[in-house]
Amino acid sequence: MEHIPILKVGDFLLVTIQVDMHDRLVMQLQDDVCQRVVKDKAKGVLIDISSLEVVDSFIGRMLGTIATMTKTLGAETVVVGMRPAVAITIVELGLKLENVHTALNVDRGIALLQSLVYQKDAMQ
């Protein structure tokens, strides 16, 4: 069974998608991220899509679902590195990604995750 690698970095999980994912792999990633959030007690998930040449409605839905699922488990998700051509295309496609935090690159994504998680920690 193929898997997208998930790396643990401190309190965060780092997912770098480097292949053109077929639909089963997309569904597998959804499951894997949720399992790992619980297993590693992660507070945040960073998904780097800078290698993705296409985000269609199926992959877009997966990103939204991962964000919602991890939030339900108590972890924030930030998607980083979207290519300009992909951004232009998904807006025309009608994909909104409204519930997904995004950042330009990994550095800014980590900073955003830290602020999201830190704010939440401070409130508790």
Partner 1 sequence: MIVVKTEVHALHSSDDITMVRQKVRKVMQEAGFSLVDQTKMVTAASELARNTVIHGGGGKVSINVVENDGHVGIQLIFSDKGPGIPDIDKALQDGFTTGDGLGLGLGGAKRLVHEFAIDSKVGQGTKVEIIRWR
Q: How far is the CB of 77 from partner 1 (least distance, A)?
A: 18
41 interacts with partner 1 by CB under 8 A:
no
Q: How far is the CB of 118 from partner 1 (least distance, A)?
A: 32
The smaller minimum CB distance to partner 1, of residues 83 and 120, is found at: 83
State the DSSP string of 101-121: EEESSHHHHHHHHHHHHHHHH
In this structure, the number of other CB atoms found within 10 A of the CB of residue 52 comes to 18
8 interacts with partner 1 by CB under 8 A:
no
Burial of 88-120, coded b for 16+ CB within 10 Å and e otherwise, reads eebeeeebebeebbbbeebeebbebbbebbeee
Q: Tell me the window of 28-36, 41-49, 79-87, 102-110 that interacts with partner 1 (CB under 8 A).
A: 79-87
Q: Tell me the window of 29-37, 69-77, 84-92, 106-114 that interacts with partner 1 (CB under 8 A).
A: 84-92
Encoded tokens for 89: 């295309």
90 interacts with partner 1 by CB under 8 A:
yes
95 interacts with partner 1 by CB under 8 A:
yes
Alpha helices (runs of H) in the chain, residue ranges in sequence order: 23-39, 57-73, 84-93, 106-123
38 interacts with partner 1 by CB under 8 A:
no
3 interacts with partner 1 by CB under 8 A:
no
54 interacts with partner 1 by CB under 8 A:
yes
For residue 76, the one-letter residue type is E
